[in-house]
Structure 1
Amino acid sequence: MSETVKVIKEKLLNVTTMEDPFVKLCEKDERKGVQTALIQTKRRLKKAEHLLERFEMMSRFEKKYHKAGFEYIAGIDEVGRGPLAGPVVACSIVLPKDFSVSLVEVNDSKQLSLAKREELFDKIMDEALAVGIGIKSETVIDSVNIYEATKLAMIDSINELGIKPDYLLIDAMTLPVDIPQDNIIKGDANSISIACASIIAKVTRDRMMFEFDNTYPGYGFATNAGYGTKEHLIHLKEAGITPIHRKSFEPIKSMVNKEN
């Protein structure tokens, strides 16, 4: 071919299948730069294919219940059951029936980088019909236990949606509400709605913990989100308990008992 390697690389970025006639032409080009670009194109398309397959798999519950006649299906997830400090945050989200492949990169929030979560946060908020957030503080967690506090946060998130869902997809939990629901094990990896909820909840809570890091410096809340990292535990021992620490969680519980 007469085109430069640079031009060929740019054209390959627009290729959507390895069966494209342009790809066939490139395969006959012996230049190393062109062959490297072909390998990169193949990897890109393979990744895109994998993402689309996962997207279809993660959409099966939503499609199933829409087909059954349910209009507003809410995916529900929480973040923050394990940390030593900070609230538990839940999110309920209702996606439109025709939610787009702009969400193809959505996955369990724990599998995504900070930058990717922030990017997807905006896409999800643009796509969603309704989003509700429920937050239960360390005080509530200490009062009723983390499991019950999580339920309360999830129920609050449903009530904050603005529209009443007629079906719930919940990550590994059953809620005492008068709405039909499906308890999905590893829901954030199996349902697009639950995965979206997990991302919104994660970003929301991380932003809160970043602010707490300014209020209570030294514990590393901006990076550890309140989990018991080495940095966190060392500073906890040196500087003591903050108002956002969960007094029903160890080692804070023992520290409180020792003080009393």
Structure 2
Amino acid sequence: MIKKLFLFLISLWILGTGKAWSLEIEGALGIWSQDPWGEIAYKGDALTMDKNLDFDMKDRFYGRLRLNLPLVNFYLGFTPVEFDGEGRKDASFRFGDVVFNGTLPFDSYLSIDQYDIGIFWGIPFLKTATKVATLGFAGINLELGINLRVLDIKAKIEQETVGKEEKSFLIPIPMIYGGLFLDFGRLALEGEVRGMNYQDNHYYDVVVRLKGILLKPVPLGPSLFVGVGYKYQNLELDIKDIEGSLELTGPFFEIGGSF
């Protein structure tokens, strides 16, 4: 028993020291089909995303970057969110300091660009240990950290006979991050969760991704991969005269590399 344990620890050391003090970078560019649902109000009446504002699914590009360092890891991301439409409402409504004629069409616009910077840690040697334990079939990695997401929000209503009203502001949102990664060699299944809940506000972000390696010339060298998956975001906001609830859901596709 002691001999087997000793051999197991030696295997961990041999497999783990190769990357223990290395820098690993992973970056990806993708496209996310964003389907909005919810409502928004600015000093007045609530307007629904689908019926009143005429928002529909949009495809938006996004980018992400991971830096895995010996002692700490970093995450950077940018996700633009933007919708526009020709809205209608059954009665007059107030948006900001302007009262609009709901029986006539109006132009609606909403953008919520998302900027992420995160810091996280994995469990040392967990992936290596699980690979050894499963005879190389799968490596499991768990990550925990914190994520700061800055929302750049812009909302606008414009009507020819009345005028326009708009509101823009930045909101920094600290979030808890957790990740689960299953590495099967050429394929990997990944899950990421970010969340915040404070008083009447909450923000949840869930990502599920299946990633496959397209090209990897040498075992420990750079690789090219593609990923497909699904994103879900749920935002409840009551701040700076803005009240709203928003869900963004939809599939995504990405291509990236690591080295």
What's the TM-score, normalizing by structure 1?
0.24
What's the TM-score, normalizing by structure 2?
0.24
